[in-house]
Chains A and B, each alone.
Chain A
Amino acid sequence: MKLILSTLLFFCYSYGFSQENTTVKSGEKLVYAASYNISGLLTQLAQVTMEVQEVKTSKSTMLHLKCTAATFEKWDSFFKIRDLYEAYVNPKTLKPVLYKRDVYEGGYIKKEKYIFNYTKRTVKSSVSKKNGIVKETIVPIDYNTNDVISTLYQLRNMDISKAKPGDKLSLKVIFDNTEKNVAVKYVGKEDIVLKDLGKTTCYKIQLLTQEAKLQGKGENIIYLTADAKKLPALIKFSIPVGSGQLTLISSKGI
């Protein structure tokens, strides 16, 4: 038992998943063009913005990780998307305290709020839809369970330089009120060419999940720039309703 525990601890330590935040800083703003695969052609639909801001409460300072998605003007009359995903995290550990999701997708409305309590290992969840009825539940979680937004930022904080191709790390993400198992696989280094950033060497990370709600027919890949900032330069996603990608078009405050 001790051997298993120490191996697990070594695994987590060697990847630096629990290491102190050295990558994500306040003032960072990343802008992406979101494309969706329509009849085999990638069509640009929306702009996704990821921002990091410092937020002061009466007792502490937290990092506000904000992710917004908005369809381009020409798409608004056909299918308007105005999504807001936020996580308020501890600036040192990037562990979430509060997560909020407020989505508007072509008339579909959903609001979610998760309050993380790692002492009790629970998430107090409030979910409401178009009818306005709020459903409150307590979801038991593991110590390593995070929301989707803080997970993405925590991935950036990992010390990937020590990883070998094929290495895997298991994570737990709470989404749609349920804890989901996600495995992160380091595939290796790869050069990618982006229209606005040119040729960039990236760490290729594959996200693997058994969850039918999250996984489509293709692969979910994140390309993180192989430098100290580890910016997500390209995100390829495959969900049950299709596939697409997010391409970094501008970055500020890094």
Chain B
Amino acid sequence: MRSIFITVACLATILAIVFLILPLGSLLMIPAIAALLFGYLAYRISDEPKKKFPKFILMVTALICLAGITKLFVIKDKVENDANFENRIETSKEDAIKELDDIENELEEDLDF
């Protein structure tokens, strides 16, 4: 049973690390809570000399949670100033005005015809 709890806790910790690297916000809390739960269960049923590894998992997960919460408050949802995109928008508008002039001339010719 101990090895099952440790395996699940390890997998959940790895998943939490992946979610921490990816910008998935609070989603990392799901595997982190699972890691804490199974890590704690493994710690409880472990004999005294074998408590070190579950303790390590709990510490790592706690650090991941802390890093995740910090990230949530420090990194704000903002859009980068993208000069390339701004240029694309501006060019598109300039082209559109020329195209609209052509369309209007064509429509006029159609009506004259």
CB within 8 Å of B: which residues of A? 33, 38-39, 41, 43-44, 46-47, 55, 57-60, 62, 64, 66, 68, 70-76, 78, 82, 84, 86, 88, 97-98, 100, 102, 113, 115, 117, 119-120
CB within 8 Å of A: which residues of B? 22-27, 30, 75, 77-80, 82, 84-85, 88-89, 92-93, 96-97, 99-101, 103-104, 107, 110-111
Interchain nearest-CB distance for A176 vs B (Å):
19
Q: Which single residue of chain B is at the shortest CB-CB distance from A33?
A: B77
Interchain nearest-CB distance for A91 vs B (Å):
13
CB-defined contacts of A98 to chain B, threshold 8 Å: 96, 99-100, 103
Out of A62, A102, A120, which one reaches B92, CB within 8 Å? Answer: A102
CB-defined contacts of B22 to chain A, threshold 8 Å: 78
- Count the A-B residue pairs with Cβ separation under 8 angstroms: how many? 85
Interface of B is mostly: helix
CB-defined contacts of A75 to chain B, threshold 8 Å: 23
Q: Once the chains bind, are B79 and A72 in contact (CB under 8 Å)?
A: yes
CB-defined contacts of A117 to chain B, threshold 8 Å: 107, 110
CB-defined contacts of A88 to chain B, threshold 8 Å: 96, 100
Q: Once the chains bind, are B88 and A102 in contact (CB under 8 Å)?
A: yes
Given A57-B100, A98-B99, A115-B103: A84 in contact with B92 (beta carbons within 8 A): yes
Interchain nearest-CB distance for B11 vs A (Å):
16
Q: Which single residue of chain A is at the shortest CB-CB distance from B22?
A: A78
Q: Once the chains bind, are B88 and A84 in contact (CB under 8 Å)?
A: yes
Q: Roughly how many angstroms separate A201 CA and B111 CA in the complex, as a whole number?
A: 46
